[in-house]
Chain A
């Protein structure tokens, strides 16, 4: 089945907005999804995201964004169910593994149960949370601050719809009676934030990983529903703080595309340079954290030493170091400083020199080699099915760089290689990122001397309203595909704003990747997958 076949289906309708979402009847969802997934020529094997929605009158539902990893062709399906008491949708978890975690997110926030999903637990909120917070009729006072401990259930439920219309549940154990379960997190040196993993061990060998999320969930998506478009920009910097600039780029781009705002060429270049600097910054932190997690304290400081230079460059121009608030709708906040170009050139030259030290002290080291090579294998098939974008997917041989597949900004005009490797082990993930540092330097060198003159910011209306429909934009952040999905009803605030988390699929992949490896490998694999918690928890 192809996109055109879906459009020709009875009851199918293309919605407004640049996402070109096709609305289909809920009863057709499962058949359509199977058809798209198993299409003979271009199977839609990558499920980008499932976005839960509350359309009010129209009912609750979800929008499924799919893509073909081979061609980059995309399909988006929208289904709604009117039953608010017992909303049910069929699971997609047997077609795409990433649906295992995405459907839990939708269940958590909208109360839509996915029949056939083997693990229908809440994902972010406490298991005893009352109500479904992202529904429009949610009572904001229904969950006062609680100070008692949360207990995590050791069983989970799979729901099935019986022929007579009743719902039956089957219990599955998360951990067995005899499992030796240890908690890694939420306060742990190597989880890089407030992430908690329940890990079952057999001696030193990991047998299961169950990530428990939501320790720093801030409800940014819900908050955005009451903020005007310029105000929502402040939140994206606080998602993946190592991709602050790129995430904000995505949101600005989504709003600009929907509102038809033309961005001046100067701003486009500046944004691209900043994006690449941010990528180097993030990969330097990746290097530092990986070596630190493996017990080498000294190279950790090397990474931070060079990162400091990037932050200084950022701070001079944007006024911020970690959180920059630099992109605005229609351009950038302020023009670059006069010495910006010189400093960036000096930095890329320095980076190229000093990266040899990084490799000398760590990459060739026999201890690091044996701890990373062949460890934590993620097959290409799994990487696509789990939706592991970014360098993690590229290390498994999946050429998934948004900058190449769906070029935005200046990326179709600059020359750069998409770094991919086939091994899919921790070492490949590490090397891909190290090589991307050099690629980013290469991109910056092409742009920095050619920043055109002119305005750095287009004039925009004082109140920005987006036309009705579902709008999306996506960028390649430091750790994968970050997408913004806005449903607008024509107001100055979004009706629903969703961010595709780059880290959620990565954390979800931990279970697949870590099984059978040692506990020390679990830490190294976690570092090599490179997730950032605020982006997962949103």
Chain B
């Protein structure tokens, strides 16, 4: 079976056994934990750089421009690393009348939520960092810590712009979590599992979006819209809304504190896309077309993490396309969209999926 070509599990088990041979198990676990932590951080940073570069190039192309093209050769490859370096060396300004503790805590909450969710992504067979049987439930829970950070940032800065931004963001994210929750639930109904690896493994004979047909496609669209809102990206970027609130909730942040918000925004985009790829497009499962055995065999040779990243980036591009096309919604429109359109739609989809599942109408 193709799954085993690139299964990480034997490799990881081997490393664990080797480590246990030279040290007690608790030490081996600590060491592994550290290594995995560093790996997550590195991957997080590298992906952020890649995403920011991609966003700059993609949005430039939508706007009949070229985008970064000076630093690091013709493609401007070193532009983002240069910006990262710049932001690292910038002063972190402390505000006079801010709530110092909460002000400093907020960016860490945002980044923490983002990293926790990030760790749940199934990269490959046997390469899921946080593995638990209620995985997708955990993702939903962890991602909602982020809004706390945003609310705190807006409140503790003691500025009117940030306060308005934070309140907008709070109202929006909490509303859209309903839709996200229900559309995820729809897929849980289809798969009958909450464990992310099981969800992916269940798609070996066809991606969920094909297995669940109409309700799954609808849930996919609802998830993308709500996920876009969760990631605070246009046309739902009214928490930042630079044309109205200069920078919204992070107006008063500078240096790396601002950088955390910025990083989290891009990684949340990736996470949203990654979860969508996992739930609907089969995660690291290759594309199989029934009857074309030769084609399927070729697809099997492509490693799982390539599939995962490929699918995720396709969705990321889709989200960027949306962002760079539409004007921003107003706060009341955002709430109308959620409560009058998306939420009822997702409830209907959930019902439809349950009926399909019960009647055996899914593949």
**A residues at B contact (CB < 8 Å):** 180, 182, 188-190, 201, 204, 291-298, 300-302, 305, 361-362, 365, 367-368, 370-371, 518-521, 523
In the complex, A362 Cα to B326 Cα: how many Å? Answer: 8
Apart from the given pairs A190-B243, A295-B241, A371-B327, 4 other A-B contacts in the complex at a CB distance below 8 Å? A182-B164, A295-B238, A298-B325, A365-B326
8 Å CB contact of B64 from A182, A301, A365? A301
The answer to whether B327 touches A520, judged by C-beta atoms less than 8 angstroms apart, is no
Given A370-B333, A520-B241, A182 contacting B160 (CB threshold 8 A): yes
In the complex, A295 Cα to B62 Cα: how many Å? Answer: 15
Is B65 engaged at the interface, CB distance under 8 Å to the other chain? Answer: yes
- CB B232 to nearest CB in A, in angstroms, measures 13
The answer to whether A523 touches B64, judged by C-beta atoms less than 8 angstroms apart, is no
The answer to whether B327 touches A291, judged by C-beta atoms less than 8 angstroms apart, is yes
The answer to whether A367 touches B243, judged by C-beta atoms less than 8 angstroms apart, is no
The answer to whether A518 touches B330, judged by C-beta atoms less than 8 angstroms apart, is yes
Task: Report B145-183 CB contacts with A as 1/0, cut-off 8 Å.
Answer: 000000000000000110010001000000000000000
In the complex, A324 Cα to B65 Cα: how many Å? Answer: 27
The answer to whether B63 touches A297, judged by C-beta atoms less than 8 angstroms apart, is yes
Residues of B within 8 A of A301 (CB): 63-65
Is B293 engaged at the interface, CB distance under 8 Å to the other chain? Answer: no
Given A367-B235, A520-B241, A523-B243, A295 contacting B328 (CB threshold 8 A): yes
Task: Report B296-331 CB contacts with A as 1/0, cut-off 8 Å.
Answer: 000000000000000000000000000011111111
The answer to whether B325 touches A361, judged by C-beta atoms less than 8 angstroms apart, is yes
8 Å CB contact of B327 from A201, A294, A302, A305? A294
Residues of B within 8 A of A291 (CB): 327
The answer to whether B328 touches A296, judged by C-beta atoms less than 8 angstroms apart, is yes
Is B4 engaged at the interface, CB distance under 8 Å to the other chain? Answer: no
The answer to whether A190 touches B327, judged by C-beta atoms less than 8 angstroms apart, is no
The answer to whether B243 touches A298, judged by C-beta atoms less than 8 angstroms apart, is no
In chain B, positions 19-74 with a C-beta closer than 8 Å to chain A are 59, 62-65
The answer to whether A294 touches B331, judged by C-beta atoms less than 8 angstroms apart, is no
- CB A424 to nearest CB in B, in angstroms, measures 20
8 Å CB contact of B62 from A189, A298, A371, A518? A298
In chain B, positions 188-225 with a C-beta closer than 8 Å to chain A are none
Is B133 engaged at the interface, CB distance under 8 Å to the other chain? Answer: no
The answer to whether B160 touches A297, judged by C-beta atoms less than 8 angstroms apart, is no
**B residues at A contact (CB < 8 Å):** 59, 62-65, 160-161, 164, 168, 234-235, 237-238, 241-244, 246, 324-333
The answer to whether A519 touches B63, judged by C-beta atoms less than 8 angstroms apart, is no
Q: Per DSSP, are chain B's interface residues mostly helix, strand or loop, or mixed? A: loop
In the complex, A190 Cα to B325 Cα: how many Å? Answer: 19
The answer to whether B244 touches A520, judged by C-beta atoms less than 8 angstroms apart, is yes
Residues of A within 8 A of B235 (CB): 295, 367
The answer to whether B330 touches A371, judged by C-beta atoms less than 8 angstroms apart, is yes
- CB A191 to nearest CB in B, in angstroms, measures 10
Closest-by-CB residue of B relative to A188 is B246
Residues of A within 8 A of B242 (CB): 189
- CB B67 to nearest CB in A, in angstroms, measures 12
The answer to whether B327 touches A523, judged by C-beta atoms less than 8 angstroms apart, is no
- CB A95 to nearest CB in B, in angstroms, measures 36
8 Å CB contact of B237 from A295, A302, A365? A295
Given A298-B324, A518-B332, A523 contacting B63 (CB threshold 8 A): no
**Interface hub of B65, B238, B242, B330 (most chain A Cβ within 10 A):** B330
In the complex, A180 Cα to B159 Cα: how many Å? Answer: 12
In the complex, A204 Cα to B331 Cα: how many Å? Answer: 9
A-B complex: 7 closest residue pairs judged by Cβ atoms? A295-B328, A296-B327, A301-B63, A294-B327, A520-B330, A182-B160, A190-B243
Closest-by-CB residue of B relative to A371 is B330
Closest-by-CB residue of B relative to A199 is B160
The answer to whether B329 touches A367, judged by C-beta atoms less than 8 angstroms apart, is yes
Closest-by-CB residue of B relative to A527 is B243
The answer to whether A521 touches B327, judged by C-beta atoms less than 8 angstroms apart, is no
The answer to whether B160 touches A180, judged by C-beta atoms less than 8 angstroms apart, is yes
In the complex, A519 Cα to B241 Cα: how many Å? Answer: 11
A–B complex contacts, Cβ < 8 Å, 27 sampled: A180-B160, A182-B161, A188-B246, A189-B246, A190-B243, A190-B244, A295-B234, A295-B235, A295-B238, A295-B243, A295-B328, A296-B325, A296-B327, A298-B63, A298-B325, A300-B63, A301-B63, A301-B65, A367-B326, A367-B327, A367-B329, A367-B333, A368-B327, A371-B333, A518-B330, A518-B332, A520-B330
Given A189-B243, A298-B63, A370-B333, A204 contacting B164 (CB threshold 8 A): yes
In the complex, A292 Cα to B326 Cα: how many Å? Answer: 10
Residues of B within 8 A of A305 (CB): 64
Given A292-B243, A293-B243, A295-B235, A521 contacting B330 (CB threshold 8 A): yes
**Interface hub of A201, A367, A518 (most chain B Cβ within 10 A):** A367
Closest-by-CB residue of A relative to B247 is A189
Closest-by-CB residue of A relative to B330 is A520
Residues of A within 8 A of B327 (CB): 291, 294-296, 362, 365, 367-368, 371
